[in-house]
Amino acid sequence: MTPIIFALQAAAPQGQPAGGGLSMWIMLIAIFLIMWLFMIRPQRKQQKELQNFRDSLKKGDKIVTVGGIYGTVEEVNDKTVLIKVDDGVKLRVDKQGLVRDSSDVAQESQK
C-alpha cells in the first residue's frame, strides 16, 4: 500500500469507507474546473475583446455607449473619446463607457 492510502485508511472513522475524503476533494476540484470552463474563461475572453475594441478606436468609427447613445468618433485620447451625436452636438465620454461598434447593431437588426 502507498503511504497516502495507508494514512487515509488509518485516519478514516470506522463507519465510513476509506478514501471518502479523497473523493470529496476530487469533486471540489471538478466543480471548480467546470465553473472555470463555463463562466470565468468566457468572461475573460469577452473582456479582452472589449478592451481590444476600445484600444483600436479611430476617427469615423460608429459606436454605442453604455447609456445607449449612438455616435461617431471625432477624436480619441488616452482615456476619453469625443463623439459626434448629432449636427453640432459632441460629447466627451470615457473609453470605459463604450460597449460596442454600432455597425454590429445595424447588422443584427437586419437579420
pLDDT tens by residue, 24-83: 999 999 999 999 899 999 999 999 999 999 999 999 999 999 999 999 999 999 999 999
Q: Can you give the pLDDT at residue 21?
A: 84
Check: CB of residue 67 under 8 Å from CB of residue 83. no
Q: Can you give the pLDDT at residue 28?
A: 93
In the numeric block, the cell 471538478 is attached to 30
Q: Can you give the pLDDT at residue 94?
A: 94
| Cα–Cα distance, 75 to 8 (Å, whole number) | 66
Of 46, 96, 41, 45, the residue nearest 66 (C-alpha): 96
Instruction: Report, in this order, helix, strand and coil percent for the chain, each rounded to 5.
Output: 50, 25, 25
pTM over 0.85: no
pLDDT at 93 over 90: yes
